Amino acid sequence: MSFPGLHMPLGPLMIDVAGAALSDDDRRRLRHPLVGGVIVFKRNYESPEQVAALTREIHALRSPHLLIGVDHEGGRVQRFRDGFTPIPPMRALGAVWDTHPVRAKRLAKDAGYVMGAELRAVGVDFSFAPVLDLDYGASSVIGDRAFHRNPQAVAELAHALMLGLHEAGMNAVGKHFPGHGYIAADSHVAIPVDERPLEDLEFADLIPFRQMLDWGLAAIMPAHVIYPKVDDKPAGFSRRWLQGILRGRLGFEGVIFSDDLAMAGASVAGNAVERVRAALDAGCDMALLCNHPELVDEVLTRLQRQPAPVSLVRLARMHGRPHAPDRVTLHESARYMNAVHHLAGLGEVDADLAFNDPTDYCGNT
């Protein structure tokens, strides 16, 4: 049995919480040894002050503190809005790239800095960003979340955004390895299949991932997509993709987060316990299970798993840099004010199009 503040290594499971404050059930789950992180959603957000109090309570439960992540990419996928700067969709930065690539990279770095600094100021450790998928114009679930169709443009804009995140004290998570932009099917509600051979992926979709690894990308999220010419399992359950290609051929040494295992694209692996086990066995360091507390309870009861020592080392690097400036100090800094000014009006988001529906998908959106 664990108690608030007890030293306990980070477990391999990232879960969500019910509302704007922790319930007794939330605290019970978050103190379980299998849990190592929390993903927060729109339903967990009322104001910057409220979410800062929520993250403080989550961090106080355990030592080292649980990781707190959020899908805060910009555009349609920005969980915190009131009191936060609207971040443009990444396609808006790609449009600038077409005529002014140097300016586009400056804007991407500003976007990463503002995103990271505002999240760190309320206690969030990292965002699941940037999207490294190519914009083929086929996938509605990716759509304007992607920077560009050109792999080099994606790589350079994502690198600039990552540098901005680093400046703010936050690591980046590239997704959705090895690429989710080519096919129309949405892995939230279907099991997408990409029939291209590995050689086609290597000369297109894998280019941004490979370059970002060379530039120090800290974490990756694989896609719930099957590439049958490579393996009959979705990438997030595939030892060939995660161990053979990502860690072996590409030399990645950072964190692998699964995409949400409650999504339809994960159903091929079985029930919730089997999905978590399959993701971890394939090579994920942390498995996400969202929006189904009954499934979380099933996993916490039935899964027998000791955290791998190498995963503990990798996950420790995902904590946000300490001593982040508070919101008042941040808003008074020239760097922040200039960055917000540069981003103003770029690719303005229609709030009605935002992914803030009641299901509050995680990972992929």
Q: Would residue 50 count as lying in a domain?
A: yes
**Does residue 237 lie in a domain region?**
yes
Averaged pLDDT for residues 38-67? 97
As beta bridge partners, residue 126 has 69
Q: Which amino acids are annotated catalytic?
A: 188, 259
- 262-318 residue pLDDT tens: 887 677 878 999 999 999 999 999 999 999 999 999 999 999 988 889 999 999 999
Pick from 361, 364, 346: nearest CA to 75: 346
What is the pairing mode between strands 77-78 and 72-74? antiparallel
Give the pLDDT confidence of 188-240 residue by residue, as tens digits.
Answer: 667 889 999 999 999 999 999 999 999 999 999 999 899 999 999 999 999 99
Q: In this predicted structure, what is the pLDDT of residue 364? A: 40
Place of tokens 């936060």: 84
- pLDDT digits 0-9 by tens, 141-179: 899 999 999 999 999 999 999 999 999 999 999 999 999
pLDDT at 360 exceeding the cut of 60: no
Q: Is 356's pLDDT higher than 50? A: no
Q: Is residue 276 part of a domain?
A: yes
Check pLDDT > 60 for residue 95: yes
Residue 103 has pLDDT above 60, yes or no: yes
Distance linking the first and last C-alpha atoms of the chain: 35
Domain membership flag for residue 160: yes
Q: Is residue 360 in some structural domain?
A: no
Give the confidence band of 2 by pLDDT, cuts at 50, 70, 90: very low
| Tally of helices (H runs) and strands (E runs) in the chain | 13, 12
The answer to whether residue 33 is domain-embedded is yes
The per-residue pLDDT for 140 is 81
Position 71 in a domain: yes
Among 114-118, 119-123, 266-270, 285-289, which is the least confidently predicted range?
266-270
The residues pairing with 77 across neighbouring beta strands, listed in sequence order, are 74
Distance CA 344, CA 332 (A): 17
Confidence of residue 359 (pLDDT cuts 50, 70, 90): very low
CATH number of the CATH domain containing 96: 3.20.20.300
Owning domain of residue 204:
8-341
The predicted structure's pLDDT at residue 189:
64
Would you state the torsion angle of the CA atoms of residues 86, 92, 96, 97, taken in this order, to the nearest 10 degrees? 120
Burial-class residue 361 by CB neighbours within 10 Å (0-12, 13-18, 19+). buried
| Model pLDDT for residues 54-94, shown as the tens digit of each residue | 999 999 999 999 999 999 999 999 999 999 999 999 999 99
Q: Tell me what the pLDDT averaged over the chain comes to.
A: 91
Is the pLDDT at 1 greater than 80? The verdict is no
- Count of domains observed in the chain: 1
4-18 pLDDT tens trace: 567 899 999 999 999
335-354 per-position pLDDT tens digit: 999 999 999 978 654 433 34
pLDDT of residue 68: 98
What is the rounded CA–CA span in Å between residue 175 and residue 172? Answer: 10
